[in-house]
Amino acid sequence: MTAALSPTDQRAREVLKSVWGYDAFRGVQADIVRTVAEGGNALVLMPTGGGKSLCYQVPSLLRDGVGIVVSPLIALMKDQVDALRQVGVRAAFLNSTLSPEGVREVEAALTAGELDLLYVAPERLLLDRTLDLLERAPVALFAIDEAHCVSQWGHDFRPEYGQLHVLPERFPQLPRVALTATADERTRADILRVLGLQGAPQFISSFDRPNIQYRVAQKEGPKTQLLDFIRSEHEGDAGIVYCLSRKSVEETAKWLQAQGIEALPYHAGLSPRERNLAQDRFLNEEGLVVVATVAFGMGIDKPNVRFVAHLDLPKSMEGYYQETGRAGRDGLPSTAWMVYGLADVVNVKRMLAQSLAPEDVKRVEAAKLDALLTYCEAATCRRQVLLSYFGETLAEPCGNCDVCLNPPRVRDATREAQMALSAAIRTGNRFGAAHLTDVLLGRETEKVRAMGHHLLPTFGVGREHDEKTWRGLLRQLVSLGYLAAGDHHGLSATGKARPLLKGEETLKLREETLVPKPAKRDRER
C-alpha cells in the first residue's frame, strides 16, 4: 500500500523525473522537498554524497522565482552550474571569478526573473548591492550550503557565514534551508541561531556508511604497509591516499609508480592545469590511485572509489569522516584504511600548540584532535565511536571494522603507564619519546649518561618490554592526554596523569603494545 501523494509530492516527482531522470527520492529527500517547496524552513543534516543538492534544487524549480544558493566552495560553482545547465535548468553563479561584465549579465538575468538557481559566494551575497538586488528580484528560497561554516565550533568557520543572520532579518518571508554534512550538537545550535531556524523541522540522516570498512593500524613503514594493503585487497582499484605535506604526496606517488601502481600526485602546489588533469583522469580512468593532500576531493563525485588511505592523521573526526566518505558512494564494499604512529601524534599536537590561531579556536581544534585520537586508540567498534561522535547511537558493534573483525585484547597497563610517566617527570618533562624509551629500557646512550639519567630509579625499569611496546604506550599516553607534546617533541606529564600515578585510577590499553619482549632477545643484549 502506498500513501497517496500530495499535489506537491506529485509535482516534485515529475520534476525529479523530467529534469534529472531519477525515479524516486532517497530517504528523507521527499519530506525536505515538500517542506521547503511549501514555504517552510528546514535544517538538513546529511552525510556527503547523501543527496543534499536536490533538497533545494527541486523546490527552487517548484516555487516561483530563483533559488539562491549560498556556498563557500567557489571552485565548485562553475561545475555545479554547468551540470544544471546540461539538464536544462537556468542556473548561474556570482563570485569573484566573474568579470565585471559577467556580474552585470547575471544580475540582469536575476532581476528579469530568467534564472531558476543562482549560486552566490557569501561575501558577494553580503554586499549591499546584492542584497538590494535580491529585494527587487523574484526569490524562491535561500539554501545555505555547508551551513556548519557559521559556527566557530565547526572545523571550517567562515566569518562571512556568521553574517548570514541578514537573511532572516531582511527576508523573513522567504524559506531558508540550511544544509551540512557535519554538525555536532553545538554546531547545530549555532546554525539554528544564526539562520533563524529555531522551531524549523530538522532532517537528520544517518551518518552510517555500512559498506565502508574502517581500519586503523600502527605505522611501521607506511609506504610498504600501503603497498601491501593495495596489492592484497585493492589491486587495480581506484583509491585516494591522503598525506599531510606536498613533499610526502610527491614521494609516495613516485614510489607507488615505481612499484607498478598507477598513481598521480595532487596538491595545491601544482598548477591549476595539472590539478584539473589529475582530477579528470581520476574521474574517467579505471583503477587510478591519487595521492593527495586534503585539497583533493572537495566535490569529487566518483562512485567507485574503493579505498581511502590515510598515511597521516586528519585534523578532526569531521575531516576523517569527510575524507573516508569519498569511498564507496556506489554502496559496494570499500575500505577506509589508516596508519599512524607516535611521531604523528606528537607532530600534530605540536603544530596545534604553536599555531597562531586565537586561543579559543585552538582549544576547539585540540578537542577535535583528541576525539580523533581516541577513535584511533579505540578498543571498541570503530563505527560505534565514529557515529557517537556525530550524535548517533549504533546499538550493536558493526562487524565490519578492524576492531569487530579482529578484536584487540585489552590489558591493564597501569603499571607500565606509571613507569613511562615517571620517566618523563624524573627527566624533567622535556625529553622526547626516543630518549624516554632509552631510559625505560636501561640503555646507556651518550645522552643518557650526559644527563645522568642512568642514575635515576626509573632507569631500566621497563626492560621486560621491547622498544615497540614503549613507543606504542607513549603514543597512547599522548593520544589519551596523559602526556603533552611540547616544543622539540618533548613530552610532559599532564594533570590527568596524577590520579594514575597515585594509583587512584587504572588504565586499560590495547594489548598489541604490551607484548613482553621474547626472553631470548633479552639474553642477547
Q: Any contact of residue 398 with Zn ion (CB under 5 A)? A: yes
Looking at the Cβ atoms of 39 and 299, the one nearer to ligand ADP is: 299
Stretch that binds Zn ion, among 2-10, 62-70, 204-212, 378-386 (CB under 5 A): 378-386
* Whole-angstrom distance, CA of residue 189 vs CA of residue 165: 14
Cite the DSSP H helix spans in 394-451.
402-405, 414-426, 433-441, 446-451
Looking at the Cβ atoms of 119 and 375, the one nearer to Zn ion is: 375
* Rounded least distance, CB 61 to ligand ADP, Å: 14
Q: How many of the chain's residues bind ligand ADP (CB under 6 A)? A: 13
Q: Any contact of residue 182 with ligand ADP (CB under 6 A)? A: no
Q: Any contact of residue 308 with Zn ion (CB under 5 A)? A: no
CB neighbour list of residue 136: distance below 8 Å, 6 or more residues apart: 111
Stretch that binds ligand ADP, among 25-33, 88-96, 364-372, 398-406 (CB under 6 A): 25-33
* Whole-angstrom distance, CA of residue 329 vs CA of residue 135: 39
Tell me if residue 316 falls in helix, strand or coil. coil
Q: Any contact of residue 328 with ligand ADP (CB under 6 A)? A: no
DSSP secondary structure letters along 99-165: -HHHHHHHHHHHHTT--SEEEE-HHHHTSHHHHHHHHHS-EEEEEETTGGGG-TTSTT--HHHHGGG
Among 8, 40, 49, 227, interactor with ligand ADP by CB under 6 A: 49
Q: Any contact of residue 19 with ligand ADP (CB under 6 A)? A: no
* Rounded least distance, CB 198 to ligand ADP, Å: 24
* Rounded least distance, CB 87 to ligand ADP, Å: 10
Stretch that binds ligand ADP, among 21-29, 261-269, 313-321, 356-364 (CB under 6 A): 21-29
Give the β-pairing of 289-292 and 263-266.
parallel
404 binds, among ligand ADP, Zn ion, none (CB under 5 to 8 A by kind): Zn ion
* Whole-angstrom distance, CA of residue 488 vs CA of residue 482: 18
Looking at the Cβ atoms of 349 and 383, the one nearer to Zn ion is: 383
How far CA 204 is from CA of 2, 44, 182, 264, 398, in Å, comes to 23, 6, 11, 36, 21
Burial of 23 (0-12, 13-18, 19+ CB in 10 A): exposed
Please check whether residue 368 is in contact with residue 511, taking contact to mean a CB–CB distance below 8 angstroms: no
Among 188, 209, 368, 383, interactor with Zn ion by CB under 5 A: 383
* Rounded least distance, CB 390 to Zn ion, Å: 15
Give the residues across from 94 on adjacent strands: 120
12 binds, among ligand ADP, Zn ion, none (CB under 5 to 8 A by kind): none
Give the residues across from 67 on adjacent strands: 117, 141
How far CA 54 is from CA of 13, 243, 413, in Å, comes to 11, 32, 51
* Rounded least distance, CB 52 to ligand ADP, Å: 3
* Rounded least distance, CB 381 to Zn ion, Å: 3
Looking at the Cβ atoms of 24 and 258, the one nearer to ligand ADP is: 24
151 binds, among ligand ADP, Zn ion, none (CB under 5 to 8 A by kind): none
Q: What is the 3-state secondary structure (H, E, C) of 419-434?
A: HHHHHHHHCCCCCCHH
54 binds, among ligand ADP, Zn ion, none (CB under 5 to 8 A by kind): ligand ADP
- Per CB under 6 A, contacts with ligand ADP among 364-393 are none
Q: Any contact of residue 58 with Zn ion (CB under 5 A)? A: no
* Whole-angstrom distance, CA of residue 322 vs CA of residue 35: 27
Which amino acid is it at 378?
A
- Per CB under 5 A, contacts with Zn ion among 430-489 are none
> Grid coordinates in use for 7?
499535489
* Rounded least distance, CB 207 to Zn ion, Å: 14
Q: Any contact of residue 51 with ligand ADP (CB under 6 A)? A: yes
- Per CB under 6 A, contacts with ligand ADP among 283-312 are 301
Give the residues across from 310 on adjacent strands: 242, 338
- For residues 285-320, one letter each, b for 16 or more C-beta atoms within 10 angstroms of the residue's C-beta and e for the rest, the string is eeebbbbbbbebbeebebeebbbbbbbbbbbbbbbb
Q: Any contact of residue 25 with ligand ADP (CB under 6 A)? A: yes
Please check whether residue 508 is in contact with residue 413, taking contact to mean a CB–CB distance below 8 angstroms: yes
25 binds, among ligand ADP, Zn ion, none (CB under 5 to 8 A by kind): ligand ADP
* Rounded least distance, CB 26 to ligand ADP, Å: 4
301 binds, among Zn ion, ligand ADP, none (CB under 5 to 8 A by kind): ligand ADP
Q: Which residue is nearest to ligand ADP, using beta carbons?
A: 51
Looking at the Cβ atoms of 404 and 473, the one nearer to Zn ion is: 404
Looking at the Cβ atoms of 365 and 402, the one nearer to Zn ion is: 402
22 binds, among ligand ADP, Zn ion, none (CB under 5 to 8 A by kind): ligand ADP
**What ranges make up the beta strands (E) of 385-517?**
410-412, 483-485, 491-493, 508-510
Among 9, 19, 22, 225, interactor with ligand ADP by CB under 6 A: 22
* Whole-angstrom distance, CA of residue 491 vs CA of residue 428: 9
Query: Residue 351 CB: number of other CB atoms within 10 A?
Result: 14
Q: Is 36 left (phi over 0), alpha (psi -120 to 50) or beta?
A: alpha
> Grid coordinates in use for 65?
522565482
Please check whether residue 435 is in contact with residue 454, taking contact to mean a CB–CB distance below 8 angstroms: no
Please check whether residue 332 is in contact with residue 264, taking contact to mean a CB–CB distance below 8 angstroms: no
Among 35, 41, 48, 334, interactor with ligand ADP by CB under 6 A: 48
Among 55, 244, 345, 404, interactor with Zn ion by CB under 5 A: 404
Give the residues across from 287 on adjacent strands: none
Binding site for Zn ion (CB under 5 A): 381, 383, 397-398, 401, 404
Binding site for ligand ADP (CB under 6 A): 22, 25-26, 29, 46, 48-54, 301
